[in-house]
Chains A and B, each alone.
Chain A
Amino acid sequence: MTNNGETTVGIYKETLLAGLWRENPVFRLLLGMCPTLAVTAAVKPALTMGLSVIFVLVCSNIVVSLMRNLLKPHLRILMFTLTIATFVTIADLFLKAFQPEMSETLGPYVPLIIVNCIIICRAEACASKNNLLVSIIDAVGMGVGFTLTLCVLAGVRELLSTGMIFEAKLMPDWFVPWAAMGMPVGAFITLGLLLGLVNILSKKKA
């Protein structure tokens, strides 16, 4: 990617939008499935998870982009992982200090951001090749795309498993809570059906 003159703004916009739909990490690239499935039993943990991922993604993209000229091919992945692990530790300690309950709910899935494929993928595919600004925009786009996906999935599951979202009752009285949606089964099946839906939608557009 080159950025000279008039195309510059176009590239930034393009990069930002790519993460939201065309290259949406979950729906399109099938990356970062583990947290997607694990934390989406309710919207609140999903949102927290999404924000942590945005933070780690932006920070690691900044660092990787800054040191992209120093990278040695065979040590690349190791350097990425170490950078990511550092920022994840920061995020984890932050959550433990200020959101202890949420940290409890998310459990090991916060440290598991380290091995979230999205972050390594973006470091490899974008940040190690592009300048600082493009990397940051890319990280924000991808992160927001990921967070939105998590929230959609969590919204569907929370609504069906409890009839409520954020403690606000949305379903009519006759609705029988569908407990299975809160369990692993619900995660797999909801995501499967959502992916099918995305396939239909994107085919119509094309």
Chain B
Amino acid sequence: MSTLNTLLLGFISIVLINNLVFTKFLGICPYLGVSGRIDMAFGMGMAVTFVVTLSGTLTWLIDHLILMPTGLEVTRYVCFILVIAGAVQLVEMYVRKFFPSLYESFGIFLPLITTNCAILGLCLFINLWGIDKLLEAVVLSFGAGIGFTMAICIMAGIRENLNMADVPECLKGAPITLITAGLLTLAFMGFAGMIR
């Protein structure tokens, strides 16, 4: 029961309270780049969720089973980035084979998931928070992906409507998106008191 509780709390906390986009500023580039249309945002979110779950789990395993026993922590970053690059390659091949239209519309953003800070960031945070159970690491990684998807979809929904709004000339494009993101962050801060 207590394990389940911890897992549930961890999941909620990473989705709502420690949301990577809103509180840790991770994954801002695709957040600004792809969030123009809601279906693309959702596809991107799903791809990121998959990669982040996979790489979060794998990096935890590598970290605990290979690097720590052999004292090779120095090479941690190099190993992490290799795992992520491999996972992204896998997703890219899968999407190109089975969803060619989605692949077309993603364009450059799909390989760019490799450099999505959310993924490496999460692997580092798992390491930093000292998560020592595999299950916890898996749940946290998955939650981080869900949190990212949620954030990017909310943003896409707002931006679809923002297109019709009368925005001052100089604020068009990225500036107004950032300001909107700021206001969203403010809303999400309301969750901060919920746990811990």
Tell me which residues across on chain A come within 8 A of B47, comparing CB atoms. none
Interchain CB contact under 8 A, B181 and A188: yes
* A185-B185 contact, Cβ under 8 Å, with A37-B25, A192-B178, A200-B170: yes
* A34-B77 contact, Cβ under 8 Å, with A183-B189, A188-B182, A189-B178: no
Cβ contacts A177-195/B at 8 Å (1 or 0 each): 0001001111111011101
Measured in the bound complex, the distance between the Cα atoms of B114 and A77 in whole Å is 10
Cβ contact of A89, chosen from B78, B117, B169, cutoff 8 A = B78
* A192-B176 contact, Cβ under 8 Å, with A33-B32, A34-B28, A184-B25: yes
Tell me which residues across on chain B come within 8 A of A77, comparing CB atoms. 85, 111, 114
* A108-B124 contact, Cβ under 8 Å, with A33-B29, A184-B22, A199-B170: yes
Report whether over half of chain B's contact residues are helix, strand or loop; otherwise say mixed.
helix
Residue of B22, B78, B119 with most chain A CB atoms under a 10 A cut-off: B78
Instruction: Specify the chain A residue showing the minimal Cβ separation from B75.
Output: A89
Cβ contacts B1-38/A at 8 Å (1 or 0 each): 00000000000000000000011111111001000000
* A120-B28 contact, Cβ under 8 Å, with A108-B124, A112-B121: no
* A184-B32 contact, Cβ under 8 Å, with A193-B179, A199-B175: no
Measured in the bound complex, the distance between the Cα atoms of B117 and A31 in whole Å is 12
Tell me which residues across on chain A come within 8 A of B29, comparing CB atoms. 30-31, 33-34, 117
Residue of A88, A93, A120, A193 with most chain B CB atoms under a 10 A cut-off: A193
Interchain CB contact under 8 A, A115 and B78: no
Tell me which residues across on chain B come within 8 A of A81, comparing CB atoms. 81, 85, 114-115
Cβ contact of A93, chosen from B74, B85, B124, cutoff 8 A = B74
Measured in the bound complex, the distance between the Cα atoms of B184 and A189 in whole Å is 11
Tell me which residues across on chain A come within 8 A of B178, comparing CB atoms. 188-189, 191-192, 195
Tell me which residues across on chain B come within 8 A of A108, comparing CB atoms. 121, 124-125, 128
Interchain CB contact under 8 A, B74 and A85: no
Tell me which residues across on chain A come within 8 A of B25, comparing CB atoms. 33-35, 37-38, 184, 187
Measured in the bound complex, the distance between the Cα atoms of B26 and A108 in whole Å is 11
Measured in the bound complex, the distance between the Cα atoms of B120 and A148 in whole Å is 26
Interface residues of A in 61-105 (CB under 8 A from B): 77-78, 81-82, 85-86, 88-89, 92-93
Tell me which residues across on chain B come within 8 A of A114, comparing CB atoms. 77, 81, 120
B186 within 8 A of partner (CB): yes
Interface residues of A in 139-194 (CB under 8 A from B): 180, 183-189, 191-193
21 A-B Cβ contacts within 8 A?
A33-B28, A33-B29, A34-B117, A34-B121, A38-B24, A78-B85, A81-B81, A82-B78, A107-B128, A112-B120, A114-B81, A117-B29, A120-B115, A183-B185, A183-B189, A185-B182, A187-B25, A188-B182, A192-B178, A192-B181, A195-B171
Q: Which residues of A contact B (CB under 8 A)?
A: 30-31, 33-35, 37-38, 77-78, 81-82, 85-86, 88-89, 92-93, 107-108, 111-112, 114-117, 120, 180, 183-189, 191-193, 195-197, 199-200, 203
